[in-house]
A and B are shown apart, each in its own frame.
Chain A
Amino acid sequence: MRVIAAMSGGVDSAVAAARAVDAGHDVIGIHLALSRNPQSYRTGARGCCSIEDAGDARRAADVLGIPFYVWDLSERFHADVVEDFLSEYAAGRTPNPCVRCNERIKFEAVLDRAVALGFDAVVTGHYARLATGADGTVELHRAVDPGKDQSYVLGVLTQEQLRHSMFPLGDTPKEQVRAEAARRGLAVADKPDSHDICFIADGDTAGFLHRELGSRPGTLVDTDGEPVGSHDGAYAFTVGQRRGLRLGRPAPDGKPRYVLDIEPVSGTVTVGPREALEVRRLEGTGVSWCIGATPAEGIDGSVQLRAHGAVHPATATVLGDRLVVDLHEPASGVAPGQSVVVYDGTRVVGSATIASSAA
Chain B
Amino acid sequence: MSTTPTVAYLDHAATTPMVAEVVAVLTDQLSRAGNPSSLHGSGRAARRVVEESRESIAKSLGARPSDVVFTSGGTEADNLAVHGIFAARRDADPRRTRILTPAIEHHAVLDTVEWLATHAGAKVDYVAVDAAGRLDLDDLRRRLDADPDDVALVTCMWANNEVGTAQPIAEIVAAAHAHGIPVHSDAVQAVGHLPVDFEAVELDAMTVTAHKLGGPVGVGALLVRREIEVAPLLHGGGQERQIRSGTLATAAIAAFAAAVDLAVRRQPDQARRLENLRADLVRRTQAAVPEIVVNGDPKPGPEHRLPGIAHLSFPGCEGDSLLMLLDAQGVECSTGSACTAGVPEASHVLLAMGQDDVTARGSLRFSLGHSSTAADVDALIEALPGAYERARAAGLTGVGGRNA
Contact = CB atoms under 8 A, between A and B. Distances in A.
Interface of A: 2, 25-28, 31, 33, 36, 38, 51, 54, 58, 65-67, 69-72, 74, 76, 103, 108-109, 111-113, 116-118, 158, 160-161
Interface stretch (B86-94, B241-249, B283-291, B338-346): B338-346
A52 B128 CA distance: 36
Nearest to B404: A160
Contacts of A72: 320, 343-345
A74 B398 CA distance: 12
13 contacts: A33-B342, A66-B3, A67-B4, A67-B328, A69-B320, A109-B398, A112-B394, A116-B393, A117-B324, A118-B325, A118-B390, A158-B402, A161-B403
Nearest to B396: A116
Interface string B211-249: 000000000000000000000000000000000000000
A69 B344 CA distance: 10
Contacts of B324: 28, 67, 69, 117
Interface residues on B, range: 20 to 34
A54 B404 contact: no
Nearest to A25: B1
Given A67-B328, A72-B320, A116-B393, A26 B341 contact: no
Nearest to B327: A67
A180 B214 CA distance: 43
Contacts of A118: 325, 390
Nearest to A157: B403
Contact of A112 (B3, B340, B400): B400
Contacts of B390: 116-118
Given A72-B320, A117-B391, 15 more contacts: A28-B1, A31-B342, A33-B343, A54-B342, A58-B342, A67-B324, A69-B320, A70-B342, A70-B344, A72-B344, A72-B345, A74-B343, A108-B403, A118-B325, A118-B390
B404 A51 contact: no
Contacts of A28: 1, 324, 328
Interface string B256-280: 0000000000000000000000000
A84 B397 CA distance: 21
Main secondary structure on A side of the interface with B: mixed
B1 A2 contact: yes
A160 B401 CA distance: 13
Interface of B: 1-4, 320-321, 323-325, 327-328, 340-345, 390-391, 393-394, 396-398, 400, 402-404
B234 to A, nearest CB: 26
Given A51-B341, A72-B344, A117-B321, A65 B397 contact: no
Question: Which of B328, B391, B397, B400 has the most C-beta atoms of chain A within 10 angstroms of its own C-beta?
Answer: B397
Given A31-B342, A113-B321, A117-B324, A67 B1 contact: yes
Contacts of B345: 36, 72
A113 B394 CA distance: 5
Contacts of B396: 116
Nearest to B338: A70
Contact of B3 (A65, A76, A117): A65
A297 B396 CA distance: 38
A71 B1 contact: no
A66 B1 contact: yes
Q: Which 6 A-B pairs have the closest CB atoms?
A: A116-B394, A26-B1, A112-B397, A70-B342, A33-B343, A116-B393
Contacts of A2: 1
Contacts of B402: 103, 108, 158
Nearest to A116: B394
Contacts of B341: 33, 38, 51, 54, 70
Given A28-B324, A33-B341, A111-B403, A66 B394 contact: no
Nearest to A52: B341
Question: Which of A108, A109, A113 has the most C-beta atoms of chain B within 10 angstroms of its own C-beta?
Answer: A113
B325 A112 contact: no
Contact of A27 (B1, B327, B342): B1
Contacts of A109: 397-398
A275 to B, nearest CB: 40
A113 B397 contact: yes
Question: Which of B4, B324, B391 has the most C-beta atoms of chain A within 10 angstroms of its own C-beta?
Answer: B324
Question: Which of B4, B325, B398 has the most C-beta atoms of chain A within 10 angstroms of its own C-beta?
Answer: B398
A51 B1 contact: no
Nearest to A57: B342
B320 A112 contact: no
B132 to A, nearest CB: 27
Question: Which of B4, B342, B390, B391 has the most C-beta atoms of chain A within 10 angstroms of its own C-beta?
Answer: B342
Nearest to B346: A72
Contact of B2 (A65, A70, A160): A65
B244 to A, nearest CB: 29
A51 B340 CA distance: 8
A117 B1 contact: no
Contacts of A31: 342
Contacts of A117: 321, 324-325, 390-391, 393-394
A36 B343 contact: yes
A103 B344 CA distance: 24
A26 B1 CA distance: 4
A57 to B, nearest CB: 10
B116 to A, nearest CB: 21
B2 A66 contact: yes
Nearest to B394: A116
